Structure 1
Amino acid sequence: MDDHAGESNALTPETLAAYIDAGIPTEQRLADAPICILGIDPPRRELTLRTPATEADIDVSAYRMIRTDLFEEPGDETVWFRVTVDAEGVEYEAYSLLQSVADQLQQGDDMERALHVALDAYRGLLSRAPRLSEDQETGLFGELIALNRLIDGVGESRALAAWLGPQSEEHDFVLGDCDVEVKTTRSERRVHVIHGLGQLAPTPGRPLYLMSVQVTRAGASDSGATLPGMIERIRRRLRAGRIDFDDKLTEFGWEDARADRLYPTRLLLRSEPRFYAVDDDFPAITSAGLGRILSRPELVRSIDYRIDVTDLAPEEAPPVEFGAQVQEEPQP
């Protein structure tokens, strides 16, 4: 446990994300008078604040994400009061709430007042749905990379019309002569998760391509972008398509409120995206494929699987829309 106290020990979003990504439970001392200890438990997706108990337990049953308890540690006569927050998807907001409780205690408030002052301040957090999952965040980032390139190739109106990913259609982009499914990974190899039997099933008479996107944490690089930053970058490019773009983001589950805090991770391309033709030689599991090996394929209701396309030969010529010169659109 770190023994440094005071506001100077406040965690930044990046620092908290690093603790969580490490996957190991850890503690940080937030203050000394009274002692306030922050617990970070990545496996449980929980954050806790404990301090010596001075009163009975406090009822927080009205808040679905928070619970409290009193406990003792072996060999320690101290009775601790603990606040636990289910922090999945809202880790930094949960940390800020617990830091607020610690700050109120340092100002002389008792725990009941400190806790309820913090709960009132963060009532919006407690009533909102969790953030996008990391997989959803990564997937949306990759689709935005594809959309940004498609705007270069065909202009904003045709690019936005082609983007069907937020609408949960089988394929992310439906172009003039082909479909494109975008898959994004943070791994060193091009390993992608495929959801369902239809995601890599070509529409009859239309070629299907898998666009493989690799991203990684940007670190100190100036070329990286957060998910909110990527969204704003595209918004600045749009003229007539801004409302359409925002509507599609809403269908994806995106909210601008608190976005900078919820999605602080800066990403950049690990490598140039590759395109793979999804044909008979491609390692895809489809209903048609199952029909050739199972007597009752209709009984297979759902399937998710991973494919590694790292060693497959990509298409030398990707769909022309992703490489063409931009076609200027008339001003609205």
Structure 2
Amino acid sequence: MQGFLNLNKPAGFTSHDCVARVRRLLKLKRVGHAGTLDPAATGVLPIALGRATRLLQFLPQDKAYRATIRFGICTTTDDLEGDLLLAHPAPDLTLDQVAACLPQFQGVIQQVPPNYSAVQVQGERLYNLARKGKAVVAQARTVEIFSLTVLDWRSGDFPEIDLAIACGPGTYIRAIARDLGQALQTGGTLAALLRTLSSGFDLADSLTLEELETQIQAGTFQPIPADAPLSHLPAVALLDSNARRWCQGQKLRLDQTSLRVRAAEERNLYDYPSWQVHHENGHFLGIGQLIESEIGTLLVPQVVFDGAGFDDAG
């Protein structure tokens, strides 16, 4: 079995827990995931099955969330799972005040990861250092927030705001909650997080673990095709003889391929770091890269996903 599973991760499970559960349900050894979610978070967790684990590095990186931020609260982990550091009611905080601060968190910004995170400092994870009582602050990193949209506002002693957040890789939503609270001088922490989009997979198409188990028992589960989340990559089609050679690790001249590039993007071919490679009949063969050589532009194998059976694949 190979392909992808769009899993709707439940609260209380680590991403590793989900991989282990899927491995047991499908009786499959090679299972991996993209885009780790904290245990308290829910939503889209892309799971790779079989040889598709080799494709995780090529998935699109953009993500989207629905986040609830609670003001007047600070914790050690920047979410409700941590120890309480501050609880100071903020009943006078208004939506207008919060909305006025949001623009400073959009676009390309500098963000310091939470102390309890998987970021490494001097070869050790921050969460391990924090558990040892070592006060180490990670270096600020450049991240990109594409949009922050207010969904709901609830006033009170500890007011809450619901935000729709679209962002690039490496963004910590907990850090947004912490920094927004600091900007408003009330303190803030992440109260709930639902990931609605990750690596090309949408929440609307996801399966819960219970739904997955039901489909497996009924014999109806079908993994998502391995090339389905790769539509952001341009594509190359190979004739049968060239497909065989490429799958054997040989480099092909560009004039031996048929390029399919989205017409709306007029970019240099070398601006694309990776290309989908298909047999002319549509069978997905793997991922390739274009390089310059003395004999011209070559298509070089990066990942040969499936080099067998393309004679009769439709």
Short-chain TM bin: under 0.3
Bigger proportion of residues as helix: 1
Specify which structure has the bigger relative contact order, considering alpha-carbon pairs within 8 angstroms and separated by 6 or more residues. 2
Bigger proportion of residues as strand: 2
Taking structure 1 as the reference length, the TM-score comes to 0.24
